């Protein structure tokens, strides 16, 4: 990849200076029309837009952690850096970035711990309430399921491949994954997913649709996964479309 398109490397250097409060910036004068006719002009402008997009995303993420970053200083740092007029030495830039990175990591760790504690408490309460609902069955492992639509035929084993449509949410209803949104079902070995799925889908026949409420210990446990905090109880609606028995799958290879 061209070195000028390595956005993360460029953008990282823009965070050398941060401020605790936003500065008031006067309304800028109207910008002159840009010449974006040649491929070189468009490429140069695109690099700037790409860097800005990366920075804005990073600032939004930092804001969620309680950090306020002064955009005016970022612009000044970028301009000074481009013009070789930086007011910090290379060593000072490095020290500032390392200190900032350490602060970000500390805030992220604190947020992750708080989110995990909240998810654990919410999961316990949700499981207790869900268990009282009519039609909910609880297995020995603690998996809860409801039969939304019954299927017909054999049930898969953990060694089989299954094709499913599904959507997954946290207990507050926040979605984190959906094959429906992607517009196509997913196929995978049933033994290669979280324990709650491996157990639950083995209760289904093709054509069935179940709702699973999966305790965290049958999901990701103490690990966070993407937008899923650690200790999260997960709720899935799963539709088993097809399965390939282990013997048949082996014979086809």
In this predicted structure, what is the pLDDT of residue 26?
60
Asked whether residue 110 is domain-assigned, the answer is no
In this predicted structure, what is the pLDDT of residue 138?
97
Is the pTM for the entire model greater than 0.75?
no
Candidates 59, 126, 220, 228; catalytic one: 220
Decide if 126 is catalytic.
no
**Does one domain contain both 144 and 248?**
yes
Decide if 176 is catalytic.
yes
Decide if 166 is catalytic.
yes
Which residue among 87, 103, 123 closes a domain? 87
Asked whether residue 40 is domain-assigned, the answer is yes
Give residue 65's domain range: 3-26+36-87
Our count of domains for the chain comes to: 2
Asked whether residue 119 is domain-assigned, the answer is no
**Does one domain contain both 183 and 241?**
yes
Asked whether residue 248 is domain-assigned, the answer is yes
**Does one domain contain both 79 and 189?**
no
**Does one domain contain both 145 and 235?**
yes
CATH code, domain with 171? 3.10.50.40
Candidates 78, 194, 210, 214; catalytic one: 194
Candidates 80, 176, 210, 212; catalytic one: 176
Asked whether residue 103 is domain-assigned, the answer is no
Which residue among 87, 102, 118 closes a domain? 87
Candidates 78, 166, 210, 212; catalytic one: 166
Candidates 15, 126, 212, 236; catalytic one: 236
Of 201, 188, 203, 197, nearest in space to 215 by CA: 197
CB 93 within 8 A of CB 130: no
Asked whether residue 57 is domain-assigned, the answer is yes
Asked whether residue 94 is domain-assigned, the answer is no
Candidates 55, 177, 181, 212; catalytic one: 177
Residues of the chain with pLDDT below 70 are 1-32, 246-253
CB 65 within 8 A of CB 108: yes
Asked whether residue 20 is domain-assigned, the answer is yes
């Amino acid at each position: 990849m061209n070195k000028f398109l390595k956005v993360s490397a460029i953008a990282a250097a823009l965070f050398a200076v941060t401020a605790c409060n936003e500065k008031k910036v006067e309304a800028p004068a109207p910008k002159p029309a840009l010449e974006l006719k040649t491929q070189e002009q468009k490429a140069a402008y695109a690099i700037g837009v790409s860097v800005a997009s990366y920075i804005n995303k990073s600032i939004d993420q930092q804001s969620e952690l309680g950090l306020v970053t002064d955009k005016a200083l970022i612009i000044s740092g970028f301009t000074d850096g481009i013009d070789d007029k930086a007011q910090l030495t290379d060593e000072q830039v490095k020290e500032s970035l390392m200190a900032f990175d350490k602060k970000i990591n500390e805030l992220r760790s604190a947020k992750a711990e708080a989110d995990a504690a909240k998810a654990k408490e919410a999961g316990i309460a949700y499981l207790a309430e869900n268990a009282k609902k009519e039609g909910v069955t609880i297995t020995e492992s603690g998996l809860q399921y409801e039969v939304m639509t019954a299927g017909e035929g054999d049930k898969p084993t953990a060694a089989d491949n299954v094709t499913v449509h599904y959507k997954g949410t946290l207990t507050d209803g926040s979605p984190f994954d959906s094959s429906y949104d992607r517009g196509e079902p997913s196929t995978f070995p049933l033994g290669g997913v979280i324990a709650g799925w491996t157990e639950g889908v083995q209760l289904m026949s093709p054509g069935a649709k179940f709702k699973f409420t999966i305790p965290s210990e049958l999901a990701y446990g103490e690990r966070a996964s993407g937008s899923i905090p650690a200790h999260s109880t997960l709720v899935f609606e799963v539709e088993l479309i097809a399965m390939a028995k282990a013997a048949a799958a082996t014979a086809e290879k």
